[in-house]
Amino acid sequence: MKPRPMPSKPDNSPAPLAVFEDVSLQANGKILFNGLNWPLEAGQNWTVFGPSGSGKSFLAKALFRSIPLVRGRILFYFDGPEAKPRTFLKPNEIVRISQDDQKSLMRRYASYHQARWQSFEQDAPTVEDYLKGKARANRFQMRETGEPAGDINRDAWEQALALFKIEYLLPRRLIHISNGEARKVLIARALLKKPRLLILDDPFTGLDAASRDALAQALNDMAQTGTPPFVMLTSREDEILDCSGHVLCVEDSRVVFQGPKETMPVAGAALSAAPFPKTEFRLPAPDTNPAEGFKTLVDMKKVSISYGGDVVLDQVDWVMKPGERWALLGHNGAGKSTLLSLVLADNPQAYANDISLFDVKRGSGESIWEIKRRIGCVSPESQIYHGPDVTCLQAVCSGFFDTVGLYHACSPEQEQNAREWLAGFDLEHLADRSFLALSTGERRLTLLARALVKNPALLALDEPCQGLDARHRARIIDILDGLCTQTSMGMIFISHHVDETPRSITHVLRLEKGRVVECGRRP
C-alpha cells in the first residue's frame, strides 16, 4: 500500500502538536471512536470529559501509543512545525499520569496491602529516592527507575517541589504517604522528565478540597508558561480548569462535542448520562446479626503513632458502637489512612497503644484474622492486587476468606450468596468476566459486594466513590443508604467530597494534623 503523504502546515495556521487522523480503536470486539479527527495545537490545553466507562482512558492510551490503532494514524510534530511529522514517540515526549501508575507504584513497593505498615518500613524508598530515579523494588534489590536521575537540574527540582508543595515529603517512605500526596509526587516526577505533552488522568482524584485548589492553581500557573501543555481526563465537570481552553466531550466511546470550552453545551456530555433507575435494594438474608453482643466496635484511648519522628496520630480518643455510621474526615496527610490501618489490624504500632476492636484489647492474644473476618473493606488500593485471571465472581467469593484472589473452594451456599450480591448490584451478567476488564464503576460495586458477602459487623469504606461520575457516585450512595436501613453493621466512610457523604451517616470524626478536632453526632 502506498503511504499517505505527510500534511504540510499553511503559513497562517496554528502550529500543530499532535493530530488524530481518521482514528478508530477497538476493545472487546467493539469499535471505539470510529474515524476520530482531533487536532491538538501548540499552546492548547485540553480536557477530555465524560462519564465513567465512556472511553476517556482509551483515547489517552492511544495518544500515549500504548494501544494499537485499528484505522488511521496519529501524527506528532515534536520536532518543530517545519519538520516532517512522525507517527512514533521518543522516550518521555509524552508522560501519562493515571490511577494505574499510582496502583503500580503501590504494588511495586508493597507486595500486599498490610506491608504498608510492617516493620521492614526502613527498606522502602523515600519520596526523594523516587523523584531522583532510584528506589528499591524490594527489600533486597536496588532498582533504577529511569529518568529523572540523580543529576536533576536544580532549577527544575526546586520548581517541581514548590509547585506542588511537597518538600516536606522528601524524607518520608513512599508506602506511608497518603493517596493524595502520592498523586502530587507522581505529577512532580513527570515534570522532571521535561515532557512535550502531559496526560493527566483524573488528577484530582483522592485530593482534599484544599489540595484540589492548590493543584488547580499549580496547573494554571504551569499553563501560563505553556510548558508542557496537557490533556486532562475527568468525569466531573467542576474539575475543568480555567486554563483548559478546549474540551472533548465523550460518551459511549464517541465524541459528542469538540471545541473551545466557552462553546461547550451546558453540562456537556453528562446531559445524556441518565441516572440509574431507582430500585429497592434488598440484602441477601443474613444468618445472624453481625454486631450482636458487642459493646463497642472500636475503642481507642490516647493513641499516638509516629514514623521517623513525624507524629501522624496524636493522642486520639475514639469510641464507635454497633449501628453507628461515622464519616472520617480530614485533609490529605491528616492521619485518616493511619487511623483506618489500626481499625483494619494492619498496623503493628497498635500493640504499643490502648486499642480494643470488637471488645478485645489488641495484644491480648487475639488473631488478626479473627478481627478481619468481622470487617469488610473497600479502598482505592483494594483493586490493585487482583490479577488478570480473577473473575468478577471469584473476586466477590474471595471476601469469605479475606484473600486477594480465590485460593479456597467455596461451598455451594457461599457461591450462591456471592451471586445474590452480584444480582443485587445488577452485576450477575459479569460474573465470569475478568475483574480487570470491568469498568471503574463495575469494579467498585464488585469490591463492595466482596466486602459485604461475609456479613461483616463493620464496613470500612475509604473513598468508595473515587474516580466515578455523578450517576455512579449517586448509585453507590443510594446502595449504602439502603443497606443502613436493613442492617445494624457499623460503617466508617472516608471522602474528600461533601456531596459524596451518605445520608445515613450518624457521626463525624475529623482529624487535623493527626489530632481530633471534631468527634460526635453529625450536625
**pLDDT tens digits, 239-270:** 999 999 999 999 999 999 999 999 998 654 44
Asked if residues 382 and 447 have their Cβ atoms less than 8 Å apart, the reply is: yes
Percent of the chain topping pLDDT 90: 52
Confidence of residue 122 (pLDDT cuts 50, 70, 90): low
pTM of this prediction? 0.79
Q: What is the pLDDT of residue 205?
A: 85
Percent of the chain topping pLDDT 70: 85
Q: What is the pLDDT of residue 280?
A: 59
Asked if residues 177 and 127 have their Cβ atoms less than 8 Å apart, the reply is: yes
Confidence of residue 170 (pLDDT cuts 50, 70, 90): very high
For residue 105, what are the β-bridge partners? none
DSSP conformation letters of 417-467: HHHHHHHHTT-GGGTTSBGGGS-HHHHHHHHHHHHHTT--SEEEEESTTTT
SS (H, E, C) 106-175: HHHHCCCHHHHHCHHHHHCCEHHHHHCCEEEEECCEEEECCCCCCCCCHHHHHHHHHHHCCHHHCCCEHH
Give, to the nearest 10 degrees, the angle between helix 179-192 and helix 154-164. 150
Q: Is the pLDDT of residue 132 over 60?
A: yes
Q: In the structure grid, which three cell numbers stand for residue 75, read together? A: 501524527
d(CA 131, CA 177): 14
Least confident of 162-166, 205-209, 272-276, 408-412: 272-276
Q: Quick one: which of 426, 419, 429, 479 has its CA closest to 450?
A: 419
Strands (E), 28-105: 30-41, 46-49, 71-76, 94-97
Taking residues 136-160, report their average pLDDT.
58
Confidence of residue 92 (pLDDT cuts 50, 70, 90): very high
- Which CATH fold topology does 298-521 show? Rossmann fold (3.40.50)
Q: What is the pLDDT of residue 287?
A: 58
User: Going by C-beta distance under 8 Å and a sequence separation of 6 or more, which residues neighbour residue 58?
Assistant: 25, 27, 32, 33, 67, 253
Residue range 380-425, pLDDT digits in tens: 767 666 777 889 999 999 999 887 767 778 899 999 999 999 998 8
Residue range 306-324, pLDDT digits in tens: 977 789 999 999 999 999 9
Q: What are the residue boundaries of the structural domains of the chain, listed by start?
A: 298-521
Asked if residues 322 and 457 have their Cβ atoms less than 8 Å apart, the reply is: yes
Query: What's at 513, amino acid-wise?
Result: K
Asked if residues 72 and 20 have their Cβ atoms less than 8 Å apart, the reply is: yes
Strand, coil or helix: 6: coil
Considering just the CA atoms, what is the radius of gyration of the chain in Å? 24
